[in-house]
């Protein structure tokens, strides 16, 4: 892989970086020198603080503290203390968010919790274009509930809203579409869902950390999300789950385990669920991975999400402006909404030969990704990116398309992970 050098950077672009009030955040991350990293919507880079954090966790807390660290280092309560910190980034008051398990497991728990709050209702509504794990899990939930059906936007009706009625128990919806980057209006959709008496479950995987999410203010019921994308907490780092406090007394979930027990160290024979957010826990959590999350949150939690959002929109807007002519010339479709109110923090381009285009860009030090069958994705993080990187990425994209260099057969050879 060569480094991204690109053309001379215009003074206007350099001035935008010089005036950027969030520019100091870049120094908190390790991004390989010269690389333009546009895959934060798949895996965020390492915060520099992670190296000391893991050293402490392994050498001091585990190696020296051993079992005492469950108490002395606060291991047992990390799911809640970190959950409250993350909650502040997604507009959730304390006591409503825990960090635990994977997104898939938390989707399962959230859907089951939603069904428990609306017994007797017979449909779950979701998007046909949802991230596949959400649909796979929803199919599994429906299979375990005879009489409950899964209805999909794009299959059973054109619009999600047209599927929501008095039979709807739960609506599972992505805040930002993982392919197109389109952003849903959370508050508006929640009003429709609640008017029908249903429960809203929001997938925040592609919005947490870059969109000014306001779960409480928008009236969300349940939400799930990952921490390894725009929250930069490490590959496969634990996910999170949110439940509005108004539901905690009544909801239940079937993965009953000792960490979700009201008194886990009483070692009672029967299960008695915790009365708060811990009822959404199940078994023992991966402590070293949880320790890494602290470094990811610390890298952005001292700045306003509204400021991160504003920079994100400026970057995606600039990129679309710079590649628009190239896309038009070569018959490519910009999938991401132009209206800033309707997009997340990525720019997606539809192109059947998108995979070799991404490989040609990676060789030039511009790292994006591809999602089958035809989506080229570029994720923009306002924390570790500046406008110079946006410009260099756009110029490289235009050069790859205009030169046709992506047609080299070596770029068409596919790896397992795209």
CA distances from 205 to 202, 211, 229, 387 (A): 9, 11, 7, 24
Kindly list the strands in the beta sheet with 240-243, ordered across the sheet, starting from the edge strand earlier in the chain.
Answer: 97-99, 240-243, 222-225, 199-203, 168-174, 123-127, 149-153
Q: Which of 131, 230, 319, 355 is catalytic?
A: 131
> DSSP string of 352-383?
TTHHHHHHHHHHTTEE-EEETTTEEEEE--TT
Nearest residue to 58 via CA among 288, 251, 395, 377: 288
Cα dihedral 289→45→88→110 (10° resolution): -60
Q: Known catalytic residue: 228? A: yes
The catalytically annotated residue of 279, 291, 311, 377 is 377
Hey, CA dihedral for 67, 71, 74, 77, is it positive or negative? positive
Beta bridge partners of 29: 47
Query: Active-site residue among 134, 203, 221, 369?
Result: 203
What is the bridge-based pairing of β-strands 240-243 and 199-203? unpaired
CA 352-353-355 angle, 5° bins: 115
Q: Which of 108, 228, 380, 384 is catalytic?
A: 228
Confirm whether 136 is a catalytic residue: no
Q: Is 203 a catalytic residue?
A: yes
Query: Per the residue annotation, which of 109, 229, 311, 392 is the catalytic one?
Result: 229
CA distances from 369 to 155, 181, 276, 345 (A): 27, 13, 39, 14
- Helices and strands (H and E) in the chain: how many: 12, 15
Q: Other C-beta atoms within 10 Å of 371: how many?
A: 16
Both tokens of 222, joined, read 């349940």
**For strand 375-379 and strand 346-350, is the pairing parallel, antiparallel, or unpaired?**
antiparallel
Contact 378, 38 (CB under 8 A): yes
Annotated active-site positions, please? 131, 203, 228-229, 377
């Amino acid at each position: 892989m060569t480094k991204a050098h690109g053309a001379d950077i215009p003074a206007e672009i350099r001035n935008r970086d010089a005036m950027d009030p969030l520019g100091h955040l870049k120094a908190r991350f390790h991004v390989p020198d010269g690389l333009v990293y546009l895959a934060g919507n798949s895996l965020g880079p390492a915060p520099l603080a992670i190296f000391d954090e893991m050293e402490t966790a392994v050498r001091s807390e585990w190696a020296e503290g051993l079992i005492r660290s469950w108490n002395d280092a606060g291991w047992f309560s990390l799911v809640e203390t970190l959950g409250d910190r993350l909650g502040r980034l997604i507009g959730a008051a304390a006591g409503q968010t825990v960090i635990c398990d994977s997104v898939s497991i938390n989707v399962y728990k959230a859907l089951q919790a939603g069904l428990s709050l609306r017994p007797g209702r017979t449909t779950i509504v979701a998007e046909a274009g949802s991230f596949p794990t959400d649909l796979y899990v929803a199919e599994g939930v429906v299979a375990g509930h005879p009489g409950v059906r899964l209805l999909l936007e794009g299959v059973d009706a054109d619009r999600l809203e047209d599927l929501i009625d008095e039979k709807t128990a739960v609506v599972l919806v992505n805040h930002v579409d993982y392919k197109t980057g389109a952003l849903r209006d959370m508050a508006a959709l929640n009003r429709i869902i609640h008017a029908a008496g249903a429960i809203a479950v929001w997938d925040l995987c592609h919005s947490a950390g870059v969109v000014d999410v306001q779960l409480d203010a928008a009236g969300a019921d349940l939400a799930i999300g990952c921490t390894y994308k725009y929250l930069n907490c490490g590959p496969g780092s634990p996910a999170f789950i949110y439940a509005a406090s108004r539901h905690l007394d009544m909801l239940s979930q079937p993965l009953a385990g000792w960490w979700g027990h009201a008194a886990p160290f009483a070692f009672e024979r029967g299960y008695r669920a915790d009365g708060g957010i811990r009822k959404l826990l199940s078994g023992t959590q991966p402590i070293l991975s949880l320790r890494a999350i602290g470094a990811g949150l610390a890298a952005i939690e001292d700045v306003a999400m509204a400021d991160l959002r504003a920079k994100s929109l400026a970057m995606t807007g600039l990129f679309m402006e710079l590649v628009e002519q190239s896309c038009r010339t070569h018959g490519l479709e910009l999938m991401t909404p132009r209206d800033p109110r309707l997009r997340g923090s990525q720019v997606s381009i539809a192109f059947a030969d998108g995979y070799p285009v991404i490989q040609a860009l990676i060789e030039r030090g511009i790292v994006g990704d591809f999602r089958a069958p035809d989506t080229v994705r570029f994720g923009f993080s306002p924390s570790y990116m500046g406008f110079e990187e946006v410009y260099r990425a756009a110029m490289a994209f235009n050069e790859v398309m205009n030169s046709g260099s992506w047609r080299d057969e070596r770029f068409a050879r596919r790896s397992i992970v795209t």
